[in-house]
Structure 1
């Protein structure tokens, strides 16, 4: 197993540009509770956190009962938007090609570590033809919120890959801090929801065409 390597992907802001649907669902959730919606940059800054943690950041002054209602309103709004057959967030340019390159390598395993729910991730994978592509899929239902390293540690356990042969790809400081806590390498992307200069990764890529080379550089080819 020691010759295997693992590439772990964040979803929102890294693989999929989901900001339009996130903003729409947040707008409906805040309206349902009669609260003012924070600005776009503030909302997008919490992408990657579990919903409960996200609303603690966005609404520090509301009580726990209202935060629970906000979480449920967001989930309901997200499902309603999808049932209205709205276009779901597209893959970022080059994402599918980069996945195809890596999945064609016998020694490379792929995983997901996302703040999405199991149901939410399944919808995204189905929408983009990615069902079955990832060897390990870690979701918010079963773990503490990022940056707790639980998702990465579980992916390593499930795949049998040692930390020194694993790398995390993400767009937020939560992804980078999670990888750091798990003791694995980290690749940041410039197109996501956190400022690139805040990420402090081991490598930074500006497009998906650079991913395979960055992976080779950090964990060996």
Structure 2
């Protein structure tokens, strides 16, 4: 059995607009100037408190809890109003369904999102039942700490050399390497090809149409097993 672990923001869903809005709400709540868009989105992948801490620096750490709470409450309110609909990247759903159909594959999630956000994604895009293990910021330290991967391996019983993390940020790649599993980087998210390569991604792909080839390359599975 093989375990394929997906990041969410920047890998499965294009959430940059809703994340940026939430960050703006957080900064406005404590009357701090908002960083430019590129800087703000560079922290996507980290857990919420850690992301705000990275952005505000040591001099404003006491403001982080209020910023994170403002972000969360904004998300909850906007979802109730029908906003916060992050689209899947092209090919994402087909890839998930195709891999889920294989008898030798288990799918998982490891994300800096809260579980509430993952459930919202599943409901929005009809992805219930596709992931056997879901690791979130609710129960694990922020990436790149390897805890999310360790929990996923423990829950599924899959060996490390038969598991792979798929993500768009250096945090994903570093987490995978810290946990001793393979890593595939994707270029359509928040960190560029160079950063992913520097952290040791086994393969880097530019579209979901290349995922099967990359998985076969790093996992060496039997292509005929379905």
Give aligned pairs, total: 218
Match in the other structure for 2:55? 58
Match in the other structure for 1:204? 204
Map residues 64-83 of structure 1 onto 2, 5 A cutoff.
64-83=61-80
Q: Secondary structure at the match of 1:199?
A: helix
Q: Secondary structure at the match of 1:52?
A: helix
Cα distance, 1:88–1:62 mapped onto 2, change above 3 Å: farther
Q: Distance in 2 between matches of 1:65 and 1:78?
A: 22
Contact 2:78 2:84 survives alignment (8 Å):
no
Structure 1 residue 79 displacement after superposition: 1.6
Structure 1 residue 32 displacement after superposition: 1.5
**Structure 2: segments with no counterpart, 5+ residues:** 222-226
Q: Distance in 2 between matches of 1:188 and 1:9?
A: 10
**Structure 1: segments with no counterpart, 5+ residues:** none
Contact 2:30 2:67 survives alignment (8 Å):
yes
Q: CA RMSD in A?
A: 1.0
1:142-172 CA distance string (max 9 Å, x none)? 0010000000011011111000000100000
The TM-score normalised by the length of structure 2 is 0.94
Q: Distance in 2 between matches of 1:152 and 1:87?
A: 27
Q: Which runs of 4+ in 1 moved over 2 A?
A: 61-65
The TM-score normalised by the length of structure 1 is 0.96
Q: Distance in 2 between matches of 1:184 and 1:41?
A: 29
Match in the other structure for 1:168? 165
Matching of residue 118 in structure 1 with residue 132 in structure 2: no
Map residues 51-200 of structure 1 onto 2, 5 A cutoff.
51-86=48-83, 88-200=85-197
Contact 1:12 1:48 survives alignment (8 Å):
yes
